[in-house]
Amino acid sequence: MATMTVGTEIKEVLEQLGLKENNNGASTGKGWFSSNGEEIKSFSPVDGTLIGSVKSATLADYETAITKGQAAFKEWREIPAPKRGEIVRQLGDKLREYKIPLGKLVSYEMGKSYQEGLGEVQEMIDICDFAVGLSRQLNGSTLHSERPVHRMYDQYHPLGVVGIISAFNFPVAVWCWNTALAWICGDVCVWKPSEKTPLTAIACQNITQEVFDANDVPEGVSSVLIGDAELGKAMANDKRVPLVSATGSTRMGKSVGEAVGKRLGKSLLELGGNNAIIITPSADLELVIPGVVFGAVGTTGQRCTSTRRLIIHESIYDKVKDILVNAYGQIKIGNPLDESNHMGPLIDKDSVETYLAAIEKVKAEGGKVLVEGKSLSGEGYESGCYVSPSIAEVENSYSIVQDETFAPLLYLIKYSGDVNNAIEIQNDVKQGLSSSIFTNNIRESERFLSAGGSDCGIANVNIGTSGAEIGGAFGGEKETGGGRESGSDAWKVYMRRQTNTINYSSELPLAQGIKFDF
């Protein structure tokens, strides 16, 4: 890394995480590859400061990472799963040691609040804990054979090299959701993080390598490649990578899914969301308001699970609207490392322009902007990435509402009649990630959770759309991609299933009763 211009506190954080300045920006860390590629500079959206720069990886570096990964896989897969789990347990402990500096770097490089940065590292710790227990439970099934004196069962084996493409908004947690499970399953991982958050990625590799070196883990089990979309394309088209896990926009996911599908590989896609909360007449508004506000402005609206749409019954519509407008007037915006602030910056100036253009499109389509977001300038906002949040009254059919705006833009939509009408509005978008209903009516909540209810991968009752527990599988349907990460039985996507039949008799019965006279 090179060209650090940050203040003393952040410089100490970088040094704690092994991100030390050198003369040319080339990589010196084990497991991350860069050589003669273009320089990638990381500017903080918090204050516009250049945090550091790295040389991007080339396709030659990609080839090195895959080759090392293939070699390491042959050794790693032979280590018993509980022993692989022990190494992941140590990684969880190491992340506990580095939680504060890594959380600060996440906040400073990405722009989310410090508490959210710490929370993201905690997610890494939690998935490591989950994976440790799972390493002793990668169980198959014993099946009854139709043939006498035969035993049949299925079991799971590791896939090989797992490619991971992640987005800027969760620069460390999503990587660990994949790696912790892939490693205990016996896979090796090659990671292409977002170019917008390269330093948090290198910090993760440094922490991991510290644990791996202490356990003589073969080089290549964990690799990171900092670079542009060409690396992701190479990964998607590489038949040596049996599984590609990609998190990001629907446009990107379609490209990855098509390329992987053409070679009959496996893809795990976590793509866009257009998440709605239904508010029924019986809803407890003391629960609704904090759930909505956090869901809409948390991470400055840059979560895939951020609340985009509120579908409110006409009988309480005006009351909810007035409370929300008042609440938005109390949101504090500023440096996310200051814990008194509720909202930090967007990731970059391009995102600011996209956000402001979306507000104008709402107006052009006939929407009424109740709270109009603006670009903020002046003291504390020098980076040019700060905005205020927006609320607009719209129809669900507007084209701007049908698409995901990755910013704090909240749409209010009125519904009449029963909950089925609200569910129909909710489901009438291309995406299907997270959804929620606030109601004290058990019939409404059960309808929402039924087969004819929410069509999303996540459906909550009396909590918001944003946030997920490690123990549950995370992902969505439709243009969200259909992938599942983290808990439940999501581990199975990182393995291949094999059915085994054992004949322990002295005869060989053939299928369909066929016999040969030899």
Catalytic residues: 270, 304
Which letter, b or e, does each residue of 452-487 get, where b requires 16 or more Cβ atoms within 10 Å of its Cβ? Answer: ebbbbbbbbeeebbbbbebeebbbbbbbbbbbbbbb
Distance CA 323, CA 289 (A): 8
Q: How far apart are the first and last CA of the chain?
A: 73
DSSP characters over 10-42 = HHHHHHHTT----SS----STTEE-SSS-EEEE
Long-range contacts of residues 312-319, Cβ cutoff 8 Å, at least 24 apart: 312/279, 312/412, 312/413, 312/414, 312/415, 313/279, 313/280, 313/281, 313/414, 313/415, 313/416, 313/422, 314/414, 314/415, 314/416, 315/281, 316/279, 316/281, 316/283, 316/285, 317/412, 317/414, 319/285
Distances (CA, A) of 6 to 46, 331, 356: 11, 28, 29
List the one residue out of 512, 482, 506 whose CA is nearest residue 254.
Answer: 482
User: Which residues lie below 8 Å from residue 375, measured CB to CB, with a gap of 6+?
Assistant: 352, 356, 384, 386, 387
Residue 66 has phi, psi (to 5 degrees) of: -65, -40
User: Which residues lie below 8 Å from residue 426, measured CB to CB, with a gap of 6+?
Assistant: 276, 278, 309, 311, 435, 454
Q: 165 and 244 in contact (C-beta within 8 Å)?
A: yes
